[in-house]
Structure 1
Amino acid sequence: MRSSKSITALGLMLALLSGASIAAPNHTPADAGVINKERILYWLIKRGEVSADASDSVKQAAVEAYIARASLAQPKEPRMVIEAEHDRLQKVKSTAMMRAPAQRVLADADVTKTVKVLTVLIDFPDLKYNNNGLTASDTDMYYSSYPASHYKNLLFSTTGFTGPQGQTLDSAYQYYQAVSGKTFFFTGDVKGWYTASQNADYYGANNAGRGSDANVTELVKEAVSQAVANMSAAELATYDIEDPYDLNNNGNLDEPDGIIDHVMIFHSSIGEETGGGKLGDNAIWSHRYYVDQTTQGYSLPGSTKKLFGYTIQPIDAATGVCTHEFGHDLGLPDEYDTTENTNKDGSPVGAWSLMSSGSWTGAIPGTKPSGFSPYARSYLQEKYKGKWLNEREISLDSIPKSGMEVTLNQASNQEVVNQVSIPLPATQIAFKTPYQGSYQYYSGQGNMLSNSMSFTANLPATSDKLTLAMQASWEIEADYDYMQVKVNGVAIAGNYTKSVNAINSARHIITGKSSSISAAVGSDAWVGLEYDLSAYAGKAVTIEFTYVTDEGVSESGITIDNISIKQGAAELYADNAEVAGQATLAGYSRITNTRPGAASRYLIQLRSHNGVDAGLKNEGFDPGVLLWLEDFSYYDNNVSDHPGRSLIGVIDADQNMIGNNSTDVQIRDAAFSLVRQTAYTGDTNLEPTSLFDDSFDYSAPLQPQSGMVLQKLGLTMQVVSQASDNSTAVIRLANANADPALTPLTAAINLSQNGLTASVTAVVDGGEGAYTYAWDFGVAGATSTSASATYTYANAGTYTLTLTVTDAKGTIATATKTLVMSLPLTAGFSASANQLTVNFSNTSAGGVGSRSYTWNFGDGTSSTSVSPSHTYTRAGTYLVTLTVKDTQNATASSSSSVTVSEPTTPGETPSSGGGGSLSWLSLMLLGGFAWRRQRQ
């Protein structure tokens, strides 16, 4: 079944992560996830900045210096983006509580999402798209020309686009169809080429004062303005069908909001991330960002629409960079180390995820991007529904000591279980030591916080000085986040408070770092804070410590100890945090030298070289069972700051180092497998590793940024079997610390239907392990002994499906499911007319159970017969409608015209009677004529 877990923590952490891990710089972001060091070196040599004959160490240093010239510091996300995400998650949490898991599974799988992307091409007066100076050796994606049709096929083709050598390559549309189980539709159109007002280096300049790509937002506004000037209002309106930030606060995100939903820009240069072509580091670095944040977007001249978010890519972009940047548009963070630390090896994600270096996989780099990490898949599933994953959650306590077997399907197959999650118990994270004693108060860490701690006191009526004092240690994002001391709701000044700041209206704040204060003591930089309470003498007061944060950057917060109120030297009140209950905590907590960890879980995928993961083969990434750790105690993957710990990371099965290579190389053999590894330069250990044991060391002590530090919980995972193409595998999970009493053996059926085809997977828990399976599809001879099976019925009908599971001790568990197999309900009939009488022959088919019929003959009469005969009262043409309904109340109808004619009257012989009298026959005919006229 699809995961029933409400991923509220995941989404909330993502909202926090969407910003950055460092203070917001005044520039657009440089996306390090799309760096191609090989191409950077090529251009450094071609421009003569490094010699082709230089040593490898000199070349490597030149590449790193080039990258360092671009500011990789990630700017803050706009506040309305973060607030919208926060509000959405609150609604998700509420809805999840109201719906049962099975309801969520069924409802989510049927949800589809269509986006429409306005794509604009823009070149420069000194670098025209059709005179770009590129040669075949300059880029792997070289074409003799780059017309708009190329980008339309690259992005939106349903059948792929033509590669540089005439091969057919996957489009971005095909990628998102594949990773979403065909529930996400990436559509749009391409406008341009247009020409910018300034030369190319004006927009991409790395100015010292403004950082990387100093004027790129000007280029974006120029490009979209030119495109919109050539569009009708009706056409432009088709690009505004979403309200992702719920600007009118009505809860409907699928309505126009006056902002173009999705904008992609392509410029006529090589990207700075791949060497920058002739522009070098004055080229534009591919990224996702926003324009005119303070006004919620840029008002496009001559229209009622605004421009806000965009992604930008180079002339030679492949599918990988486009899908990666659009992943940011969908709300996903980068999964690599985003710090500007020069001594970093990279986070343990690499090519295993599109949101890290998986954007560069493929025979032609970037043309076959890999799938998403389980973190990203979980986020997309929760946010957009559909079929991004099919997850089974297994609690640690339910895993027996004797083990349980679980069948995994490759991550690229969402129709059956393709991800297993195991929630882990919360941990305590090492933190600063209290100033004195064993306890201290802690503000908590996070974005969009408004935490507080308070107590009440009756201050004496005195002329002596009244002082509130405490010890505090803090790391708070300067000016954006802050702590205030409030008395009866009003912030007051202290000895180290900042009276005002340029970012917000908060007054008398503690912000920045306590280590910057000369009076700080100890390794944790404790500072004595004092506030004058004399103005409140003789009053009852509520003293409150508030901690407020915005979006984007999340420092550790503030810790407070040894709170006191003094009258002169005499102590009137004291709270050293050693006794619980003295303060009212609303978001603050009372802690020792550790702080509470957040939710974490193991996530298990089977990765193959099939589907979207085919490009992993070109990078030397071997297939197998991939084990990830997702830990919300960390807000990013900046392992250079916290080695071995990250938001999401791969646990490397093979802890033997591959030379001194970066993490991207070290984790090529991270998958647990029964199959010997493929050869790789510098890799001297190619033996497979099939067993995970959390008592082993996976921290990569020789290169800690490449490893993961794990809890020791007694969990093991063994690969039991593995299909030759890695489409399926069976793993055995065991918990050495589980209660020795076996949990009961239970069996259930995971089912998906498509027409008359049923695909089933056994879901087994408990028992002694080593399970065998027996399927009976309710048809003579239709059986299977596999954990997963598929059967196509010859006829529609109701069948009883039975699964029998036997464990190593011979214990048997059974599960049954009633299958109603049917073809789509259709209505149809044929008609044969004879004068005024029509015989109808019913040809309806499909549906569930028996069918009922309602005939409307077009003359005011009807029938419920299967194939009726009907006689009309007069000639004419009638529209006949047949409506069919099955036992599930599905309906179908079919209409057709029938023409009927009057009966032929034989000729009459004259009467032999005399005179002018009328014969009996004449009287009858006249009477009939009068009767018909009366009816008319």
Structure 2
Amino acid sequence: MNKFWKSSITSVVFVGTLITGMSGGLASPISEAPLHQKVSHTSHFAGEIDLTIVNEEKLIQALIKRGVIPAKATEAQKQKGLHSYLELKGKDESNLKASKDPLAKQVKQAEAKKQKEFKEFNNGLLNGNGNKNGQFKKQPDPVKEGASPGVVKQGKLLTLMVEYSDFEHNNLQPNETDNYYEDYNTKHFEDMIFGDNGVKGPNGETFVSQKQYYEEQSGGTYTIEGKAYGWLKLPGTAAFYGADRTTGGHDNVAPGGSKILVKDVYNAAKAAGVPLEDYDLEDSHDLDGDGNFWEPDGLVDHLQIIHSGMGQEAGGGSLGDKAVWSHRSASLVDPDGLGTGQPGFYDYTVMPEDGATGVFAHEYGHDLGLPDEYDTAYSGAGEAVAYWSIMSAGSWAGKIPGTEPTGFSPWAKQYFQSTLGGEWFEPATLDWEDVSSKGTQFLLDQANSPLGKNNQAVRINLPKKETPVNTPKSGSYEFWGGQKDETDSNMVTNVDLTGKTSATLTFDAWYEIEEKWDFAFVQVSKDNGATWKSLGNANTRSDVVPEGYPTILNSMPGLTGHSNGWTEQSFNLNEYAGQNIKLRLRCVTDWGTSELGFFADNVKVVADGQTIVEDGAETETTKFTLNGFERFNGNKLMNHYYLLEWRNHAGVDAGLGNIARGNSLMSYDGGLVVWYVDDSYTDNWTGAHPGDGFLGVVDAHTNTDLRWNIADGTQLQASSRFHLADAAFGLDKTSGLNLVYPTQTLDYATQKGVRLFDDSKSFSNSFMPDAGRDLQSYGLKMTVNGKASDKSVGSIVIYK
């Protein structure tokens, strides 16, 4: 299988409700050479970490100080040491497994519902209107804001500030953090999270609050309310909650761990009289199954835990490896019982005392269902999103990193529109079949003006792309049980074994099924289909989760998990010798997380040495009746499309012009940003598939040789975050790069603006493949033909 179409978007893209990482921190300015190994992730373990929140510069400094990385290491050696450290952090160790989640069933069902809403929203987008047939306006007027319809949805966010028994708040030192305050008091966090007028920065600046950020991005239709409480004293030490295992690796596991931390925070909050009942307004996992996500469910809706000291992902400061690694997860703490007494805790985030708005707003995006848009596996040298979105490196933008987060990607806004409503995303939509040779003009308002009179964005739906899933075991076709939630498909045939003394069913099987939740069965009926019995062999299992789908629970044993390629399956039918039976292969899935499914080829029944049934799916007329199964050639048609937006340095996107890099500021130039969405991928692991992923920006100045000059005279290719600084299409010259670090510099002269996108051109990048995009050519073109005097509106023409 040469593509990473591994599972439906449900299984990876919307795991944000349980375990999602924060965006990529202050990633290293260089790439040693793209590291193409995968880094595993800890999830549903006693110790939780998020690799994607790493502040690499701070962490490298800490690792050098502790002797993990040699003091005189080269830049390449520093990167290798860092990646080795992170790989050890992510090791999957079975003895760290946490207790099973009692809400797993409801969570899966709720995510399936949200995914269905998102798909229906995508399918229902209407075509927008543009100026056609060459009547193009090259000098649009500046953006004209409309009035907000008012708040449509509101989130209630509980913020609890906690300090360890041996490390109270306000023990940070100015040289430990870029976001240093003398007093991290309640007012500071209430201003940063809920402030109507922003938050005062360390040097007296005014920075955007989390509330302001969400209100701007939603056109005033989504807001947050709440309070910060604390500082609350915890009974344990910092090391009790955050210490690493003595052998290294997992964080927050010994001796207390993150789950005990959440329990102790709950007890401290109740003891302090925190009104938990004020923070239960939503049923985010639809625990009662009535389809209403906006009613109390007995759990605090949105919980932010702020701990004293720094996070280990930034080196941990004076706590070092004793510090808690910031993360997001779920742990049920509800001593009163769900729905009785005080609301319990479930979903939560843990963040450090010196955290800034960007990381807090990013994490809240996960609370609302968003995935990371970053390379969460640290598999390569970055992905083609970088600072263009808060769900990647954009959460760390700002002169003080993290204080000026950039806007959401249009893909994220598209999701919010489907789940929250309001004014997040209402694009003009153009199908490929409707693109004309004469062209259609669209006026795009700046992305931070969702209430403007022109278009917020343009979506171009492309012809579905053929995506390899697998290769039939033999011939050109195979049988496939499908890939849907709550499916029950089968292929059935009559098998006459009268007069026979022995019989065997054999077939080749290829399956990727959600382990212990979804199953494939081989079943026999002796009463013409009234009742069925599941057969077993050496590969079948009965270890279904107790919360599983009832039909699955009652049908054991079956095949589940991943076959890791084609496997030969054999089932003994001797019990049915002498009888006329029905035989079927059956697939049953539950409410969510549909993986690739079950495939069968070369199905054969041999009785007394004679083949009596044989079918390899090669002909349209099969020996089986297909009830949900289908003949499949190994390729699936998948959706892919472009999302076009106009970005500049207005509103929260001021952060695009203020990206702290070493002793310098980097600017991402504004203009037409072309996003490519590819539903055949569910991650942005560019090390595994350079140039491909579920979401990425098309770089207008692609294939640039962008090298750091190192003090030792060597040169190293810059990572994707630097390549994408001039990714926007437009009329203006780029800003260029002049970045200075203590031991390296990056100089890149200004370039002419690139106004034309032409999909017949390659947008891959041979120097930094992770920054490129692999696009299919249809003859699509789009050009920037004008802009408003203040750059608040762009004019584009789409044609073929």
TM-score w.r.t. length of structure 1: 0.70
Secondary structure class of the residue paired with 1:543: strand
Deviations 1:514-539 (A, max 9, x none): 44xxxxxxxxx432211122333423
Within the candidate set 515, 520, 524, 1:487 is matched to 524
| Separation in structure 2 between the aligned mates of residue 26 and residue 689 of structure 1, nearest angstrom | 48
Larger deviation: 254-263 or 602-611?
A: 254-263
Aligned equivalent of 2:315, options 275, 287, 291: 275
**Equivalents in 1 of 2:423, 2:88: separation in Å?**
41
Distance 1:512 1:44 in 2: 38
Preserved contact between residue 15 and residue 82 of structure 1 (Cα < 8 Å): no
2:691 matched to which residue of 1?
644
| Alpha-carbon distance between aligned partners in 1 of 2:618 and 2:16, rounded to the nearest angstrom | 34
2:557 aligns with 508
Aligned partner of residue 688 in structure 1, secondary structure: coil
CA spacing shift, 1:154–1:337, aligned 2, 3 Å: same
CA distance in 1, matches of 2:483, 2:724: 31
Task: Specify the SS of the correspondent of 1:308.
Answer: strand
Q: CA deviation at 1:29?
A: 4.4
Q: Is it true that 1:430 corresponds to 2:464 in the alignment? A: no
* Superposition pairs of residues 132-151 of structure 1, within 5 angstroms: 132=171, 134-151=172-189
Matched-pair contact (CA < 8 Å) for 2:495–2:613: no
Residue 591, structure 1, aligned to residue 635, structure 2:
no
For residue 617 of structure 1, the aligned residue among 653, 657, 661 is 657
Q: Which amino acid aligns with 1:36?
A: N
State the SS of the aligned residue for 1:238: helix
Which of 545, 555, 573 is equivalent to 1:533? 573
Cα 1:643–1:692 change in 2 (3 A) is same
- Tell me, yes or no, if the aligned pair for 2:173 and 2:180 is still in contact at 8 Å: yes
Question: Which residue of 601, 606, 614 corresponds with 1:574?
Answer: 614
State the superposition RMSD in angstroms. 3.3
**Conserved 8 A contact 2:208-2:652:** no
Tell me, yes or no, if structure 1 residue 654 matches structure 2 residue 701.
yes
Contact between 1:298 and 1:307, CA under 8 Å: does it hold in 2? no
Q: d(CA) in 1 for partners of 2:604 and 2:410?
A: 49
**C-alpha separation between the residues in 2 aligned to 1:99 and 1:64?**
42
1:386-535 correspondence runs (5 A): 386-416=422-452, 417-444=455-482, 448=485, 450=487, 452-476=489-513, 478-488=515-525, 489-500=532-543, 507-515=556-564, 525-535=565-575
1:59, distance to aligned residue in structure 2 (A): 2.9
1:657, distance to aligned residue in structure 2 (A):
3.3
Q: CA–CA distance in 2 between the matches of 1:39 and 1:94?
A: 43
Q: 1:507 to 1:684 in 2, by over 3 A?
A: farther
> In the aligned structure 1, how far is the partner of 2:563 from the partner of 2:147?
51
Q: Which of residues 79, 89, 99 in structure 2 aligns to 1:70? A: 89
Among candidates 367, 390, 412, match of residue 354 of structure 1: 390
The answer to which of 371-380 and 641-650 deviates more is 641-650
Residue identity in the other structure for 2:458: V
Shift of 1:445: 5.1
The answer to whether residue 353 in structure 2 is matched with residue 337 in structure 1 is no
Contact 2:489/2:628 (<8 A) preserved: yes
Residue 480 (structure 1) shift:
4.8
Equivalent residues of 1:15, 1:85 under 8 A apart: yes
Assess if the C-alpha contact under 8 Å between 2:252 and 2:325 holds in 1: yes
2:326 counterpart of 1:290: no
Q: Amino acid of the residue matched to residue 85 of structure 1?
A: E
Is contact 1:40–1:274 with CA below 8 Å preserved after alignment? yes
1:686 aligns with 2:722: no
Residues 1:199 and 1:507: Cα distance change in structure 2 (over 3 Å): same
- The correspondence of residues 451-850 of structure 1 with structure 2, limited to 5 A, is 452-476=489-513, 478-488=515-525, 489-500=532-543, 507-515=556-564, 525-537=565-577, 538-546=579-587, 548=589, 556-582=596-622, 583-592=624-633, 594-619=634-659, 620-655=667-702, 656-659=704-707, 660-680=717-737, 681-683=746-748, 686-735=751-800
Task: Check 1:29–1:421 CA distance in 2 against 1; reply closer, same or farther (3 A cut).
Answer: farther
In the alignment, the residues of structure 1 paired with residue 117 and residue 758 of structure 2 have an alpha-carbon distance, to the nearest angstrom, of 39
Does the CA-based 8 Å contact 1:43-1:275 persist in structure 2?
A: yes
Which amino acid in the other structure matches residue 113 of structure 2? D
Do 2:148 and 2:451's aligned partners in 1 also have CA atoms closer than 8 Å? no
The corresponding residue for 2:50 is 31
One-letter amino acid of the counterpart of residue 356, structure 1: S
1:425 deviation in Å? 1.3
In the alignment, which residue of structure 2 is the partner of 1:859? none
Deviation digits for residues 334-378 of structure 1 (CA, Å, limit 9, x no counterpart): 11122264xx12221111111111100011100010101111000
- Hey, what's the Cα distance between the residues in 1 that align with 2:727 and 2:336? 46
Aligned counterparts of 1:249 and 1:476: Cα–Cα separation in 2: 24
CA offset digits 1:404-460 (Å, max 9, x no partner):
2111111111013121101111111124322221111234457x4535331221422
- Cα distance, 1:544–1:300 mapped onto 2, change above 3 Å: closer
- Among 264, 271, 280, the alignment partner of 1:222 is 264
1:250-297 superposed Cα distances (whole Å, 9 cap, x missing partner)? 3333222111111110001211221221233442222221103xx889
CA distance change for structure 1 residues 189 and 243 in 2, over 3 Å: closer, same or farther?
A: same
The answer on whether the counterparts of 1:242 and 1:255 sit within 8 Å (CA) in structure 2 is yes
Gaps of 5+ in 2: 1-7, 21-39, 129-145, 526-531, 660-666, 708-716, 738-745
Q: Once the 2 structures are TM-superposed, how far is the Cα of residue 511 of structure 1 from its aligned partner?
A: 3.5
> CA contact under 8 A between 2:191 and 2:199: conserved in structure 1?
yes
Task: Name the SS for the 2:219 alignment partner.
Answer: coil
In the other structure, the counterpart of 1:211 is 250
Alignment of 1:850-869 (within 5 A): none
In structure 1, stretches of 5+ residues that fail to align are 1-8, 516-524, 736-936
1:283-323 CA distance string (max 9 Å, x none): 2222221103xx88985999432111111110000001100
Q: Is the 8 A contact 2:46 2:258 kept in 1?
A: no
The 2-side partners of 1:723 and 1:456 are apart by 67
Q: Which amino acid aligns with 2:262?
A: V
Distance change >3 Å, CA 679–CA 411, structure 1 → 2:
same
Deviation for aligned residue 1:591: 2.1
Question: Displacement, 1:465?
Answer: 1.3
The alpha-carbon distance between structure 1 residues 382 and 395, as it changes in their structure 2 partners (threshold 3 A), is: same
Equivalences, count: 704
CA distance in 1, matches of 2:279, 2:381: 41
Pick the aligned partner of 2:282 from 238, 242, 248. Answer: 242
Report the TM-score when normalising by structure 2.
0.81
Identity %: 34
* AA partner of residue 651 (structure 1): V
| C-alpha contact 1:480 1:550 (8 A) present in aligned 2 | no
Match of 1:153 in 2: 191
Instruction: State the Cα distance separating 1:689 from its structure 2 match.
Output: 1.4
- The separation in 2 between residues aligned to 1:555 and 1:466, in whole angstroms, is 32
Contact 2:48 2:258 in 1 (8 A): no
Q: For residues 314-325 of structure 1, what are the structure 2 equivalents within 5 Å?
A: 314-325=352-363
Task: Give the number of the structure with larger relative contact order, counting CA–CA contacts within 8 Å between residues 6 or more apart.
Answer: 2
SS at match of 2:558: coil
Q: Tell me: CA distance 1:547–1:28, structure 2 relative to 1, closer, same or farther (3 Å).
A: farther
Structure 2 residue matching 1:597: 3-state secondary structure: strand
State the Cα deviation string for residues 77-123 of structure 1 (Å, max 9, x = none).
94422311323455787899999999xxx999666111111111111
8 Å CA contact 1:69–1:206 kept in 2: the answer is no
Shift of 1:610: 0.8
Instruction: Give the equivalent residue in structure 2 for 1:372.
Output: 408
SS of residue in 2 equivalent to 1:211: coil
Partner residue in 1 for 2:345: 307
**Are the aligned partners of 1:108 and 1:386 in contact in 2 as well (CA < 8 Å)?**
no
Hey, what does 1:4 align to over in structure 2? Answer: none
C-alpha separation in 2, matches of 1:722 and 1:645: 31
Deviations 1:463-504 (A, max 9, x none): 421221111233445545443222244321124323546776
Change (3 A) 1:112 1:513: closer
